[in-house]
Amino acid sequence: MMNRPRIAAIMLPLFCLSVAVAQKGSSSTDTVFMDSVLYEGDKCGLPGMRTGTCQKAADCPQGIRANGARCEFSGNDPVVCCPTEAPGTGDGTSNRFTARIAKQECERFTSASANIIDHISGRAIEALRGEFPFVALVNFRGEEGEEVKLTRCGASLIAPRFLLTAAHCLKDLNPVTVEIGFIQLSDTEKDEYEIKQVHLHEGHKSRRNDIALIELKNNVTYKQDVGPICLNTDRPEIGPSINLTVMGWGADGDGQRADKLMKGTVYEIPLDECVQRFRDAKQRISLGEDQLCALGEKVNDETTDACQGDSGGPLVMTVRQKFYLVGVVSTGAVCGGSLPGIYTRVSRYLEWIEQRVWGSPN
């Protein structure tokens, strides 16, 4: 793997004992006890030292999943602790708004694997078992039901029954199963799930809006080496100073197909610089804000990047020991060259994803 994709061919309620929550933004401190009786309109506490207001569930569907303090029914209507502050603001200033469902779901996820180690820039190295519990491999079948072994695409588990991948991986092929929880293709200890249907972005054309959802027939069983990844909801602009990790079972710079999950470190390249690099190489390209360019360091005449077979796979960053899905491997030029890889920017598709995965009103 680790060189650029040329994939054009085939391409709870929370129960606490008198936990005090301070209401931000006031001269005095309003204290709410989580084990006191709360009614519609009362202040309530949420995970992460956030605050909310008890509202009818019909008026705040996202509150159902927010795991906030228990609010008493209003007649026959259920009442939930509705978030009124974005997680992580914590400065007591205005900008109060309802946290989007993708962020609420992320708070429910456990921390990243304890196996995380510093990645070696400028080269691809083998991932550790359980290091990336969200990465999956998509399996395809031909018209006659035979396994299509020449095509590989990755995907990222984002919910019990949904994975995020690239639209071009699924458009002209027949995906039948996904495999997760393994490193080597020959591993016998891996979980396989049948695909119920795929959701291609309605605006997908060429490599624009190159994003899709895979819906499974059954929920994935979470365990130590299998679990979802958070969507990047807070940092639409990453910047070149942040280490990003790309991974997959794709080819290396010599075109040799990997039989194990490989990873490499890359950095974001600003869009204007990315376009100029392609122009300097006499290649025409049109990029938009819904895309992201990234490239790693050069080692032994080869630059770290994704390659054939990595399409649809994740581009991730780690914040406070938790993974965030930043991009989806989409396309690029020649593997291992000086031109950046192109990814679909996940933060630009949050509403599209939320509506299909969680039925979010955002």
Tens digit of each residue's pLDDT (9 = 90 or more) over 244-294: 999 888 755 555 566 889 888 899 999 999 999 999 988 888 899 999 999
Q: Which of 210, 225, 252, 310 is catalytic?
A: 210
CATH superfamily of 132-143+150-228+351-358: Trypsin-like serine proteases (2.40.10.10)
Task: With CA atoms as reference, report the closest residue to 258 among 351, 334, 186.
Answer: 186
Q: What is the pLDDT of residue 168?
A: 92
Is 210 one of the annotated active-site residues of the chain?
yes
Quick one: pLDDT at residue 100?
Answer: 85
Domain spans in the chain, listed from the N-terminal domain onward: 42-83, 132-143+150-228+351-358, 230-347
Say if residues 358 and 300 touch (Cβ distance below 8 Å): no
Kindly list the distances between the CA atom of residue 271 and the CA atoms of 208, 210, 277, 279, in Å, as whole numbers in the listed order.
Answer: 14, 17, 10, 12
Enumerate the β-bridge partners of residue 54: 81
Is the pLDDT higher at 158 or at 78?
158
Q: Which of 42, 113, 225, 311 is catalytic?
A: 311
What is the value of pTM for the model shown?
0.69
Predicted pLDDT of residue 259: 81
Q: What CATH class is the domain 230-347?
A: mainly beta
Summarize the confidence of residues 339-346 as an average pLDDT: 92
Of residues 121 and 109, which shows the higher confidence score?
109
Task: Give residue-wise pLDDT tens across range 72-85.
Answer: 877 777 888 888 64
Structure-token pair, residue 187? 């591993």
Residue 201 annotated among the catalytic residues of the structure: no
Mean per-residue pLDDT of the chain:
76
Q: Is the pLDDT at 58 greater than 80, yes or no?
A: no
Query: Which member of 113, 156, 168, 330 is catalytic?
Result: 168
Q: Among 85-99, 157-171, 172-186, which stretch is predicted with the lowest mean pLDDT?
A: 85-99
pLDDT of 13 higher than 50:
no
Res 18: pLDDT? 29
Topology alike, domains 132-143+150-228+351-358 and 230-347: yes
Q: Which pLDDT belongs to residue 31?
A: 36
Whether residue 88 has pLDDT greater than 50: no
Instruction: Mark whether 119 is an active-site residue.
Output: no
pLDDT tens, residue by residue, 116-148: 433 333 456 888 889 999 999 999 987 666 666
